[in-house]
Amino acid sequence: MRKQAPLAAALLLPAALVVFGVVLWPAGRALVISFLDVDSPFPGAYPFVGLGNYADILTNPRFWAAAQHTLYFTVASTTLEVVLGLGLAHLLAAPMRFRWLFRAIVILPWALPTIVNGAMWRWILNAEYGALNALLTQLHLMDDYHSWLGADPFLALNMVVVADVWKNTSLVAFFLLAGLSAIPAELGEAARIDGAGSFRVFWRITLPLLRPTLAAVLVLRVIEAFKVFDIVYVMTGGGPASGTQTITFLTYLQAFSAQRFSYGAALAYLTVVAVLLLALIYLRLLRQQEMRAL
Amino acid sequence: MRRTLGALTASALILAPFLWLVVSSVSGQTDLLEHPLHWWPEHVTLSRYQEIFTGREGVAAQFRAAMVNSLIVGAGTVVVSVSVGILGGYALARLTFPLRRMALMSFLVTYMLPPIVLIIPLYLLMARFGLLDTKLGLIIVYCSLATPFALWTMSTFFGSLPVELEEAARVDGCTRLGALVRVILPLARPGIVATVLFVFLLCWDEFLYALIFTSTSDAKTIPVAIAEFTGRNAVDFGLIAAGGVLAALPPVLLAVVLQRHLLAGLTAGSLK
């Protein structure tokens, strides 16, 4: 028990090397780059501009528009995913025939690669040949074909939300299923004997006991949604009228299309700060709630 | 009854878009462009799948090359990050050493870092060492995503195994590493399987790094190939659909067959 440190060091060395080389070093380097003005991929002496890049970003309306889209996407998709996921988790937990089949079906969107999901929805929402237009006109819910992704920026953003919710509700549901199965069934039964209806049982027993799981999955989804890139890239390419550009998408454009590496690095660091803030605010809220419960 | 109805509705909403992708992949080009649209094609064709498997050039051949790249990159990343994760995860779970908590927290924090932060310096570095557009370069950057994850899940799995078994093995004369190999690893197999699966799926699904670090069929992965052809106008959508179905096949099959392992991995990796 005394001489464990050398062994621990030896076992952790490969991990430390990998993590240092491809995570910590680049993270530190990105911070340095964000204070310089690097405008080409070649090594060289680039001028130090201090917080200049950050000031540029914060005074640029494109950044604020992207921040708004990111925030809307994050709030809308995580809210829908948690609400729908809660319902789906209840269905998954319920005893029924062919439950294995139902679980296999629900796991499908989660397993579908994000890019395939985006390409699939782009095809379904196609303005001229898309299945959604065909379905809605054949059901006489709509007279003409509609451009879902190409005309109205806000509509396009909402369609991206739909595609994201279709894919990620599964993940949320399976998470919540794990949380649900940890709640002893006797609690609900006892409450029912005491005369509580299903809704009261859910509100007073299931939901409070599920809170740690809900919190975990919510934080996870908020952080993921905040970094959204691939589904936007493949569904709308940031358009129409830059209306679906998110912060990560803007970072990608600035760094790799415009080769403004420093500007991109500064943007990326603003994402890190936002993600950390979100996590902190959230943890704080959670702790306050726990205090009140005591 | 209400639950069955709910399950049926949910299944329909989940299956409909995916089935349309499958139907599109076997529909003749004229069927796909028809007004009003038929829900079942007049000409059913498997030609696109055949093209992807045997085509010598063009989009179909690029899809095939991209799939092979995805497989190689995924396998390489799994080997590196899971072995590193097993060793480090064991140390984090079982050994007492100074700064243990700090090491654990720093690995967790690196897991939370958005990839977009790392991508710019990594790109500049790769450009300098000629690693852009190589599978090796992609494996190296994928380790930045996979290693913190593998470490974290493996240490949770090791932590959930009873210490007594290992102690018994050591009383019987095993060294610590002997006990790790003979006792712990076999017991942790479900955890290792889940980690391998997750890391592989992570690589198979990853897009941002692959988009920036690859440019030709030498290293381009399947998500990049699909995104590229989706972005073009006047393209045979059936072919993208076929590529999409093929790209979805490995993860979907793995997920359905190994459901239980995956669910165990999900909860262990992120809840504790």
HSE value, Cβ hemisphere, 13 Å, CA-based, for B126 = 24
Contact A180, A90 (CB under 8 A): yes
**B34: nearest CA partner in chain A:** A129
Give residue A142's region: left, alpha or beta (phi > 0; psi -120 to 50): beta
Q: How confident is the model at residue A288 (pLDDT cuts 50, 70, 90)?
A: low
Q: How confident is the model at residue A293 (pLDDT cuts 50, 70, 90)?
A: low
Please choose, from the candidates A252, A229, A277, the residue with its C-alpha nearest in 3D space to the C-alpha of residue A69. A229
Contact A157, B8 (CB under 8 A): no
Within 172-231 of B, beta carbons closer than 8 Å to A belong to: 176, 201, 204-205, 207-208, 211-212, 222-224, 226-227, 230-231
Within 9-38 of B, beta carbons closer than 8 Å to A belong to: 10-11, 13-15, 17-18, 20-21, 24, 32-33, 36-37
**B13 vs A163: CA distance, rounded Å:** 12
Assess B87–A contact: CB distance below 8 Å, yes or no.
yes
What residues of chain A lie within 8 A of the CB of B110, using their CB? 19, 23-24, 27
With 50 as the cut, is the pLDDT of residue B265 above it? yes
With 50 as the cut, is the pLDDT of residue B223 above it? yes
pTM for this predicted structure: 0.90
Residues 6+ apart with CB under 8 A from B40: B23
Task: Give rounded-to-5 percent helix, strand, coil for chain A.
Answer: 75, 0, 25
**B244 vs B248: CA distance, rounded Å:** 6
Residue A170: the pLDDT is 94
Mean pLDDT throughout B128-145? 92
With 80 as the cut, is the pLDDT of residue B261 above it? no
Of the partner residues A19, A129, A166, the one whose CB lies closest to the CB of residue B107:
A19
Alpha helices of A130-260 — where are they, by DSSP H?
Answer: 131-138, 153-181, 185-193, 198-201, 207-226, 230-235, 247-252
Residue A274: the pLDDT is 84
- A208, A253, B195 from A293: Cα distances, Å: 10, 47, 36
Of the partner residues A23, A110, A261, the one whose CB lies closest to the CB of residue B110:
A23
Q: Shortest Cα distance from B84 to chain A (angstroms)?
A: 5
Q: Tell if the CB–CB gap between B204 and A113 is shorter than 8 Å.
A: yes
What residues of chain B lie within 8 A of the CB of A234, using their CB? 226-227, 230-231
3-state secondary structure chain B: CHHHHHHHHHHHHHHHHHHHHHHHHHECHHHHCCCCCCCCCCCECCHHHHHHHHCCCHHHHHHHHHHHHHHHHHHHHHHHHHHHHHHHHHHHHHCCCCCHHHHHHHHHHHHHCCHHHHHHHHHHHHHHCCCCCCHHHHHHHHHHHHHHHHHHHHHHHHHCCCHHHHHHHHHCCCCHHHHHHHHHHHHCHHHHHHHHHHHHHHHHHCCHHHHHHCCCCCCCCHHHHHHHHHHCCCCCHHHHHHHHHHHHHHHHHHHHHCHHHHHHHHHHHHCC
Residue B178: the pLDDT is 83
Q: Tell if the CB–CB gap between A216 and B270 is shorter than 8 Å.
A: yes
How does the average pLDDT of chain A come out, rounded? Answer: 88
The two tokens of residue B101 are: 């908590």
Q: How confident is the model at residue A291 (pLDDT cuts 50, 70, 90)?
A: low
The CATH number assigned to the domain holding A204 equals 1.10.3720.10
**What share of chain B has pLDDT > 90, as a percent?**
40
Candidate ranges A209-213, B15-19, B262-266; pick with highest mean pLDDT: B15-19
Q: How confident is the model at residue B140 (pLDDT cuts 50, 70, 90)?
A: very high
Residue A191 burial class via C-beta count within 10 angstroms: exposed 0-12, middle 13-18, buried 19 and up: middle
CA angle, corner B262, sides to B257 and B267, nearest 5? Answer: 155
Complex prediction ipTM: 0.88
Residues 6+ apart with CB under 8 A from A196: A204
Assess B244–A contact: CB distance below 8 Å, yes or no.
yes
Q: Shortest Cα distance from B157 to chain A (angstroms)?
A: 16
When mean pLDDT is compared across A51-60, A226-235, B17-26, B141-150, the lowest value belongs to B141-150
| A71-80 per-position pLDDT tens digit | 999 999 999 9
Assess B127–A contact: CB distance below 8 Å, yes or no.
yes
Q: How confident is the model at residue B271 (pLDDT cuts 50, 70, 90)?
A: very low
| Amino acid, res. A105 | I
With 70 as the cut, is the pLDDT of residue A42 above it? yes
With 90 as the cut, is the pLDDT of residue A287 above it? no
| A248-274 per-position pLDDT tens digit | 999 999 999 999 999 999 999 998 888
Question: Looking at the domain assignment, is residue A46 inside a domain?
Answer: no
Question: Looking at the domain assignment, is residue A58 inside a domain?
Answer: no
What residues of chain A lie within 8 A of the CB of B263, using their CB? 174, 177-178
Give chain A's domain count: 1
Residue A242's SS3 state is coil
Candidate ranges A159-168, A232-241, B190-199; pick with highest mean pLDDT: A159-168
Q: Tell if the CB–CB gap between B262 and A107 is shorter than 8 Å.
A: yes
How many pairs of residues across A and B have Cβ atoms under 8 Å apart?
271
Residues 6+ apart with CB under 8 A from B214: B69, B132, B133, B138, B220, B221, B224
The two tokens of residue A149 are: 């992704």
Q: How confident is the model at residue B270 (pLDDT cuts 50, 70, 90)?
A: very low
Q: Which of A17, A22, A218, A227 is the best mutation test for B, with the most CBs of B within 10 A?
A: A22
Q: Tell if the CB–CB gap between B207 and A229 is shorter than 8 Å.
A: yes
Of the partner residues B10, B13, B90, the one whose CB lies closest to the CB of residue A91:
B10
Q: How confident is the model at residue A289 (pLDDT cuts 50, 70, 90)?
A: low
Residue B77: the pLDDT is 96
What residues of chain B lie within 8 A of the CB of A265, using their CB? 117, 120-121
Q: Tell if the CB–CB gap between B33 and A129 is shorter than 8 Å.
A: yes
Question: Looking at the domain assignment, is residue A53 inside a domain?
Answer: no
Within 38-77 of B, beta carbons closer than 8 Å to A belong to: none
| Amino acid, res. B186 | P
Residue A53: the pLDDT is 93
**B228: nearest CA partner in chain A:** A234
With 80 as the cut, is the pLDDT of residue B266 above it? no
| B165-185 per-position pLDDT tens digit | 888 888 888 888 888 888 888
What residues of chain B lie within 8 A of the CB of A223, using their CB? 112
With 50 as the cut, is the pLDDT of residue B209 above it? yes
Assess B252–A contact: CB distance below 8 Å, yes or no.
yes
What residues of chain A lie within 8 A of the CB of B18, using their CB? 108-109, 112, 120
Please choose, from the candidates B201, B240, B212, B231, the residue with its C-alpha nearest in 3D space to the C-alpha of residue B81. B201
Q: Tell if the CB–CB gap between A111 and B230 is shorter than 8 Å.
A: no
Question: Looking at the domain assignment, is residue A43 inside a domain?
Answer: no
Q: Tell if the CB–CB gap between B116 and A271 is shorter than 8 Å.
A: yes
Q: Shortest Cα distance from A270 to chain B (angstroms)?
A: 10
Question: Looking at the domain assignment, is residue A48 inside a domain?
Answer: no
Of the partner residues A4, A41, A131, the one whose CB lies closest to the CB of residue B127:
A41
With 80 as the cut, is the pLDDT of residue A2 above it? no
**B204: nearest CA partner in chain A:** A113
Q: How confident is the model at residue B272 (pLDDT cuts 50, 70, 90)?
A: very low
Name the residue range of residue A98's domain: 65-293
Question: Looking at the domain assignment, is residue A224 inside a domain?
Answer: yes
- Bridge partners (DSSP) listed for residue B27: B44
Q: Going from the N-terminus, what domains does chain B have, and what CATH number goes with each?
A: 68-270 (1.10.3720.10)
Question: Looking at the domain assignment, is residue A223 inside a domain?
Answer: yes
How many angstroms separate the first and last alpha carbons of chain A?
A: 39
| B78-129 per-position pLDDT tens digit | 999 999 999 999 988 888 888 887 787 777 777 778 888 899 999 988 998 9
Give residue B55's region: left, alpha or beta (phi > 0; psi -120 to 50): beta
Residue A136 burial class via C-beta count within 10 angstroms: exposed 0-12, middle 13-18, buried 19 and up: middle
